Structure 1
Amino acid sequence: MPTVPQGGKVLVSGANGYIAMWIVKILLQQGYRVRGTMRSAEKGKFMSDYFAKLGYGEAFEFVIVQDIIKDGTFNEAVKDVDAIEHMASPVHFNPGDLQETLKPAIQGTVSMLKSTMKNGTNVKHIMITSSTAAITSLNLDLFTEPRIFSEQDWNEASPKEVEELGSKASATTIYCASKSLAERAAWDFYNEHKAQVQWDLTVINPPAVTYESSHGGTNYVAEM
């Protein structure tokens, strides 16, 4: 795996998200420079002010990417960065048009890889934050007996259910399908163009995100 030099610049997409802000902070603490993408200048200013107060003003910058679905939307963002943490993906469980979840997850991921192949000449490594939802479905009883999952396992049940039911599928099923389909799209793109790129691809699949509430108790943020 190519190494990112200390002091190198890392692009973090969706940098104002809950997990992403922690990633940005950790990268800055470790001596990296960070370029974050977000959808508005207001969010960018908030991020800049926040990290400036922590003493990282010159090490953090942001760019506006309003629509991650469009091809080429990351063309400028990927220039002169050494690595990419792709974290921008919809996380909501509201009923509605399923494409509001599927398109940004799938096409946004592929758009990032396309832009990197075109303009990310310095990029050595790309990491995509996926989910255990890409590996296993909620329909599988994981508690009957222990089971080990690997890169050979995919959540095929959720995409199938979405294909059959469309917008009538539950919001949770649509979300799980988006994770499975987006990761598959990433690996398909990478394997198709592996001989043409100079970067490695890694995907991490966290099971859950928890945080301690200021009012006491533990809260859960998305995932399975």
Structure 2
Amino acid sequence: MSEPVVCVTGASGFIASWIVKLLLQYGYTVKATVRDPSVFHTTSPCYYDPKDPQVELIDPAVKGTLNVLRSCAKVPSIKRMIITSSLRAVVFTGKPLADNDIVDETWFSDPDFCEKLKLWYMLSKTLAEKAAWNFAEEHDETIPWMDVRDVANTHILAFENSSTCGRYCITGKPMHSSELVQILRELYPTLNLPKKCADENQLKISCQFSLERVKSLGINFIPLELSLKDTVESLKENSFL
């Protein structure tokens, strides 16, 4: 009897790679597609004498950059975003450059100065880069905690159960990150753990989640303490700790 064949899309992603690993352990033949882990954004319109600077240069530069960033933010497998700016977004500060000036990464062209002198391309590159930095700061989001082995196993159980239909919430109880740190501190008292969480004032979700449907698949969630312990041991094994 030939081995069953399945296809896993985005197989280079964290969850998908575990699904592939478990499928292979269970005797499946896996055909995989992968997504690129990085994106390079280099394009921007370049006109030095536009008839309508806002339409021809500024909007395409700023909105184009934000469109790429928003799309990438929706794809968890993308780990790095490389954006090409320009020296023109650096040196047009409105102040004369002196021989002893050292231009570094902290310099930004002045949008008001560029607009006043009708340096439209310089303005478009400056605003596009500033928009990218603002986007990065605003999207430094919190990450939900879940043992990837549970997630991967639930996918396979849902596939193997012919009666599976509808939605399944793969989650346990809500926890604040400070509670996780406390558990880690008890498990590994010698680790240099933060005494205060950056999101300490964030409200913890007070509701509970029903596990009735997901438990019907036969999944038994890995205990949180074991999940955290395995994570730390994996980090140690790979020399991250």
Give the TM-score taking structure 1 as reference length.
0.44
The structure with the largest strand share of the pair is 1
Max Rg structure:
2
Give the TM-score taking structure 2 as reference length.
0.41
| RCO comparison, higher one (Cα < 8 Å, 6+) | 1
